[in-house]
Amino acid sequence: MGIEIERKFLTAGDGWRDAAHQVVAMAQGYLNDLHAVDSGAMNASVRVRIEGEQARLNIKSRELGASRQEFDYLIPMDDARALLALCVGGKIDKRRYLVQHAGHLWEVDEFLGDNAGLVVAEIELDCEDEPFEHPAWLGVEATHAARYYNLALASRPYSQWDEAQRLATDLKER
């Protein structure tokens, strides 16, 4: 079992594009939905993801914030395609840009389809209070805003948000 410590931010500008050293196309879906997790009926999200030429089954504990349990397994591509067909809610399509900055790897997800227009940058850390340099293109922190979690975006895509939700003040300035 691993513990994932990840902080999530919106972006301010697109300077990350030129800094990216790799781009990976991703498609993912969930075998459970936001309601099952939010209601407490399930204590984890169960995701299947095709990322480039690899496929993974991923299970994350239901916890808001930077730390959660994570289980991640490579699976055969044919299995991933079959599991994606069984997923509930919408499918998440995105391009992940990998950006090295000041000794850390940033994963910048540019969402497509129903979530087009949303760009989220994530950094994995060794501990929750690990210091890191903020790139110039980094915006407000969204780590504690559940609506930016992929499971939530599969159930309620960005295209369905009203302007107030897109500008909500529950995000923390850096």
- Catalytic site positions: 30
Contacts of 132 (CB under 8 A, 6+ apart): 102, 103, 104, 123, 125
Q: Is residue 101 helix, strand or coil? A: strand
Q: What is the per-residue DSSP string for 14-47?
A: SHHHHH-SEEEEEEEEESS-HHHHHTTS-SEEEE
* DSSP summary character for residue 168: -
Q: State how far the Cα of 104 lies from the Cα of 127, in Å rounded to an integer.
A: 13
Instruction: Let me know: does 155 contact 137? Beta carbons within 8 Å.
Output: no
**Angle at 120 (CA atoms; ends 117, 121), nearest 5 degrees:** 145
